Structure 1
Amino acid sequence: MENKNQTMLQRGITLLTVIIGNAMYAAVAVLFLLPSGLPTGGTTGIALLVHKLTGASVSMFVLGFNVVMLIVGFLFLGKKFAFTTIVSTFTYPICLELFGQIFANLHLTDDMWLNTLFSGLGIGIGLGIVIRMGASTGGMDIPPLILNKYLKIPVSVSLNAFDICILLGQAILIPPEMLLYGMILVMTYTTVLNKVLLFGGSKMEVKIISNNPEPIRQAIIGHLDRGLTILRAEGGYLQEDRQVLLVVVSNRELHQLERIVKQIDPESFVIVSEVREVRGRGFSMTKEHRSQEGKIITSNIE
């Protein structure tokens, strides 16, 4: 029963987070993107092009296009994909129409750089929040996923290709300067999106080569409460057997680890590398400690 409640809670949090991400995307579009006339990629970019050619409502076109793409995704990618996409399919266009009415008389800035910057930041953060939850924003996300499944074309490659084509399609109706702003916008939200996806997941991998590894091993376990791995190695010059201590720590623990190593062996050789993601005991899973009686005690993860 407890596991079922936890599952329901997790689904509820995921649903709420996906809604927030789509609402942020819509709010930024209404406050910065649409008033400035900036071109952009994705479904919104196609909607802007159709709006300029026919006068059709941007939000209604996005809704219709998303529904069509949802059906295509169901046919080619399966019902599991459609389930994770259905929330975004309807939330974004509904919020777009709602915020369009709420903020109809609100005008923040005419500065094109500010509009480009805040559009890029908001779109990148909104999309990143949705994708981090394992969901899809729907719309033009779906064709690249289909191409990846059947033709093995990388999603990022086809997604960027579609965005470029959509931007070029809008170029016939806008000044060349606006097209350049649009290119900066796409690069900005792509960069921010990647940062959001990696946020909080990066850790520091440390390799320690020392003539006195045992006290360092004990200090890492005792003071940092971190596990580590001992790698067997051979010196390149004298070819003597060596031990390499491999440990992964958070950014705030790195300075403490370096201080411990320096106090025990100032001549030790230390290699520090940033890793994007760490999974396993102590990071994505709860820590486990074995007591003197042999019992396993769990504690909170990093």
Structure 2
Amino acid sequence: MRQGIPKNRKLCLQAAGIVLGTLLYAVSINYFLLPTRLGEGGVVGLTTIAYYTLGIAPYLTNFVLNGVLLIAGYRFLDKRTTFLSLWAIFWLSVFLKLPVVAVYHTSQTIIPTVASGVLTGIALGIIMRCGGTIAGSTILAKIANRYLGIQTGTATLILDLSVALPMVFIIGFQNMLLTVFELYLSDMLLNQFIARVGAKKAIFIVSDAHAAIAAELSERLQQGITVLKGEGFYSGRERTLLYLVCTPAQIAKVVPIVEKVDANALIVVEHVRSARGLQMHQLL
């Protein structure tokens, strides 16, 4: 029972995050995209086509097409992702059905284009960070990311363009170009959001005071630490390395803690995005 509580709490947080993400996505569609007569990619792009040509409500097309696609691709996803994706599709359809309170009118079409791209990128980032998808091109992009290693935003962009470009015959050349720009902006923000929000960083620490540093970090951060043995090529001495995985916010705490114990300690963040240390030739 005690182990089930954190899992249930995490699922609740993920479900709440997806509701927020789908709300932002619906705002992007109802308040900026449709009033400006812009297109979209994937299933949402198909819903706009159905809306512009046949007058079919976006929430209905979204629910039917995304539901069918999710059922067809469920075997590529785990049960939790499938459940959270169904949850996202349901709430996106609910929010799309809500009446639009006030539409933002402007002759500068680039403004709603940018607003839609930013909101869509953040919305998809929240949904995917919470473990879900909105089916459509995002579920195909997640499959491509898992099995082909393609960045989620890049795969989404490729799939979205395959729907957006032919829309030139419906929304015109100018709006098609604006749609492509909106897709590019949203997918680049999606990549950045996934890469930065909630991301983990790996840190290597080299110090003669490794035992004291490990004890201090463990007590202050409640963080698991791995002790590795190595040998410095320059000095020929055996060295002890500390390895830990933490959040970007924790990195800001790690450095002062380590320097308080050993001002000459070497600290390296994975991908060499940050490295600190004094007398490095003596350390290694």
Contact 2:230–2:238 (8 Å) recurs in 1: yes
Unaligned runs of 5+ in 1: 277-302
Aligned with 1:190 (options 187, 192, 205): 187
Deviations 1:201-258 (A, max 9, x none): 2355433333554554454456666553332221212422222233445545545543
- 2:239 alignment partner, SS class: strand
Alpha-carbon distance between aligned partners in 2 of 1:139 and 1:84, rounded to the nearest angstrom: 14
Q: Equivalents in 1 of 2:247, 2:209: separation in Å?
A: 24
Deviations 1:120-145 (A, max 9, x none): 12112222222233222123444556
Deviation of 1:168 after TM superposition, in Å, equals 1.0
Residue 199 (structure 2) aligned to one of 202, 216, 221: 202
| Displacement after TM superposition at 1:117 (Å) | 1.9
Alpha-carbon deviations, 1:49-68, whole Å to 9, x = none?
23333443333332332343
Task: Describe the SS at the equivalent of 1:51.
Answer: helix
What CA distance in whole angstroms lies between the structure 2 residues aligned with 1:249 and 1:82? 28
Alpha-carbon separation, structure 2, partners of 1:9 and 1:209: 37
Q: Contact 1:204–1:275 (CA<8 Å) still a contact in 2?
A: no
Which of the pair has more CA radius of gyration? 1
Deviation, structure 1 residue 154: 5.1
What secondary structure does 1:36 align onto? coil
Partner residue of 1:113? 110
* CA distance 1:186–1:222, change in 2 (3 Å): same
2:157 matched to 1:138?
no
**Do the aligned partners of residues 145 and 102 (structure 1) sit closer, same or farther apart at CA in structure 2, a change above 3 Å counting?**
closer
Provide the identity percentage: 24
Specify the alignment match of 2:100 in structure 1: 102
Seen in structure 2, the aligned counterparts of structure 1 residues 203 and 60 have a Cα distance that, compared at 3 Å, is: closer
Query: Which runs of 5 or more residues in structure 2 are unaligned?
Result: 274-284
User: What is the DSSP-based 3-state SS (H/G/I as helix, E as strand, rest coil) of the residue aligned with 1:201?
Assistant: coil
Asked whether 1:27 is paired with 2:20, we answer no
Distance across 2 between alignment mates of 1:275 and 1:201: 19
1:128 aligns with 2:131: no
For the 8 Å contact 1:202–1:275, the answer to whether it is kept is no
User: Contact 1:39–1:179 (CA<8 Å) still a contact in 2?
Assistant: yes
Partner residue in 1 for 2:232: 235
Once structures 1 and 2 are overlaid, which stretch shifts more, 200-209 or 78-87? 78-87
1:91 is aligned to 2:91 = yes
Q: For 2:251 and 2:26, how far apart are their aligned partners in 1?
A: 39
Alignment RMSD, CA only?
Answer: 3.8
Q: Distance in 2 between matches of 1:71 and 1:9?
A: 27
- In structure 2, the residue matched to 1:66 is 66
d(CA) in 1 for partners of 2:250 and 2:151? 35
Alignment partners' CA distance in 2, 1:3 and 1:261: 32
Relative to structure 1, the CA distance from residue 266 to residue 119 in structure 2 (aligned partners, 3 Å threshold; closer, same or farther) is same
For 1:260 and 1:133, how far apart are their aligned partners in 2? 31
CA 1:26–1:3 in structure 2 vs 1: closer, same or farther (change >3 Å)?
same
Whether the 8 Å contact between 2:198 and 2:247 is mirrored in structure 1 is no
Q: Letter of the 2:113 partner, please give it.
A: T
Write the distance in 2 (CA, Å) between the matches of 1:56 and 1:184: 25
Distance between the aligned counterparts of 1:143 and 1:250, measured in 2?
28
- The secondary structure found in structure 2 opposite 1:173 is helix
**Whole-Å separation in 1 of the counterparts to 2:145 and 2:261:** 51
Cα separation, partners in 2 of 1:211 and 1:32, compared to 1, 3 Å:
same
| Cα pair 2:121 2:188 within 8 Å, conserved | yes
**Aligned-partner SS, 2:270:** strand
1:139-154 superposed matches below 5 A = 139-143=136-140
Give 1:34 deviation, angstroms.
0.9
How many residues are matched?
271
Give how far 1:166 is off. Answer: 0.7
Per the alignment, do residues 274 and 8 of structure 1 end up closer, same or farther by CA in structure 2, a change over 3 Å counting? same
The TM-score with structure 2 as length reference comes to 0.74
